[in-house]
Amino acid sequence: MSRERSAIKNRLNGLPLFWKVYGFIVGLLIFVVALAEFILEPIAEKMLAGLYGGFQPWHEVVIWAVSILIPSLACGYVLSKILSLKLGKMAKAAKALARGNLEIRLPVTNNEADAFDVLAQTFNEMALAIKTQRQYGRRLLADISHELRSPLTRMSVAAGLLSRRHEPEEREALLRRLEKELERMNELVSTLLLQGSDKGEASRAMEPIGINDLLLELADDFAFQGKTLQKDVLLDAAGGLTIYGNAALLQRMLSNLLANAVFYTPEHSTVDVTARIDKENVVIAIRDYGPGVPEEQLEEIFRAFYRVDSSRARASGGVGLGLALAREAAIHHGGNIVARNAGPGLLVTVTLPLHADAKDE
């Protein structure tokens, strides 16, 4: 018997709000009708019999009408209050969302039979989608701003040298450098925008990549970038280094690591880059000779927007994205990236499998 009661109770709890209120109204009406039938009617009949000599049919109609109207109005009032309360909460949440509170959520019970609960779930999904889009927009802006810094720096160096060079060959080389950096800026913006679109997966297609050629090109770029401060990039890479990866992501990863190293290495010094094969992996090491990073913060520097509170961060003007982007690219290729103090300077080591399968970040 207790099982039957429990089953009935569970069924009732799963009913939508409308049917619960409707059942309450019907039950109340039955109770009132029974009350009128067995209690009120005999009393009314005796009272009216003395006045009119009998109980007329229209009197009975009035009694029945009153007995139905009063509980109906009461139930309608209760139902309107319940609906107003729920709608009021939704309206309040919608206003908060419109004012920029992206954390606002409505309570849900996961009862698909309840229309209000389904509406609350839909509202929460909408709020989450808006929050995600807002975060993507901010991250995209930060990514584009960060990625354009290195090409813009090289363009500034080229423009400065161009104004002081008069030999046709040198001017021609500097003009080619400017043209190359403009093309690279256009490709960077296009790639970043594409990664946020429906074609983002296609933009991360994996293919054989020659690490030697990629490192040689980037070492030349950043050696040129550090030219005015007498900073050089020294490359020592084993021959035939080819991995299966995404060219755009690998270029961004190595570019960010080199930009970081060139910035922090002192004037009249170098950035050392090595690349070698270790079993089934390619290991790339990039070392600067700057101030290094406090030991307790070595793991934190790969978090997005994290900046070391030391001389490594105060002068950069960056937002703390370079190493985070590099880490995302390494993870996408099934590899990893670690940093340690080399005394002096910071040594960043990237390990990438020769045959990587793309992974979700």
| Nearest partner of 16 among 118, 106, 88, 107, judged by Cα | 118
H or E stretch covering 211: helix 211-225
Q: Spell out the alpha helix ranges (H) of 99-167.
A: 115-147, 149-164
Name the β-bridge partners of 339.
348
Amino acid identity of residue 261, one-letter, is: A
Three-state SS at 193? helix
Side-chain half-sphere of 165: how many Cα atoms within 13 Å? Answer: 15
| Nearest partner of 68 among 21, 23, 42, 35, judged by Cα | 35
Catalytic residue, candidates 59, 146, 333, 355: 146
146 is a catalytic site residue: yes
Cβ contact 356:293 at 8 Å = no
Phi, psi (5° rounding) for residue 54? 165, 165
Q: Exposed (0-12), middle (13-18) or buried (19+): which is 169, by Cβ within 10 Å?
A: exposed
Q: Exposed (0-12), middle (13-18) or buried (19+): which is 6, by Cβ within 10 Å?
A: exposed
What distance lies between CA 69 and its chain's CA centroid? 55
Structure tokens given for 232:
């050089």
H or E stretch covering 282: strand 281-287
Distance between CA atoms of residues 79 and 21, nearest Å: 7
Task: Determine the length of the chain.
Answer: 361
| Catalytic residue positions, numbered | 146
